[in-house]
Copies of this chain bind each other. A is one copy, B any other.
Amino acid sequence: MRIGELAARTGASVRALRYYEEQDLLVPDRSSSGQRHYPEGAVDRVGLIRELYAAGLSSRAILEMLPHAADGRATTALLDRLAEERDRLDARIGELTDSRARLDSVIDGATTNLRTGRSCRPATG
């Protein structure tokens, strides 16, 4: 099928599909006039790609995993890589949670200040 149909069937934009190709995630055949032609399996492959994007992975991470995941058989290496990405996500969530805590203490200080008139100095840490 051509790119428009694949886009319609997967929910990805045409631009996104071309982008996936740029990232070597999805490489179609070309007709003599240069048009992209995808096999049926591309639908599932795009589904997997989008699943991984939605799971917070970068295109580079997806690229490293696809050869191990696309054939439907998992590898220990694949699981390690996935765990690595999960840890990265956890770290990021931890950072944001810390930021949220800092913001809360700023809010606490400001609230106290509003009620008592005392100056609030930001806590370091």
Residues of A within 8 A of B (CB): 44, 47-48, 51-52, 54-57, 69, 72-76, 78-79, 82-83, 85-86, 89-90, 92-93, 96-97, 99-100, 102-104, 106-107, 110-111, 113-114, 117, 119-122, 124
Distance A18 CA – B11 CA, assembled complex (angstroms): 44
Q: Which residue of B lies closest to A83 (CB)?
A: B107
Distance A83 CA – B107 CA, assembled complex (angstroms): 8
Assembly of this chain: how many copies? 2
Distance A63 CA – B32 CA, assembled complex (angstroms): 56
Distance A79 CA – B97 CA, assembled complex (angstroms): 19
Distance A107 CA – B62 CA, assembled complex (angstroms): 14
Using A47-B122, A113-B74, A120-B74 as known contacts, say yes or no to A100 and B79 having CB atoms under 8 A apart: no
Q: Which residue of B lies closest to A107 (CB)?
A: B82
Contacts of A104 in B (CB 8 A): 86
Contacts of A122 in B (CB 8 A): 47-48, 51
Q: Which residue of B lies closest to A119 (CB)?
A: B72
Contacts of A79 in B (CB 8 A): 107, 110-111, 114
Q: Which residue of B lies closest to A49 (CB)?
A: B122
- Choose from B47, B72, B78, B93 the contact partner of A96 (Cβ within 8 Å): B93
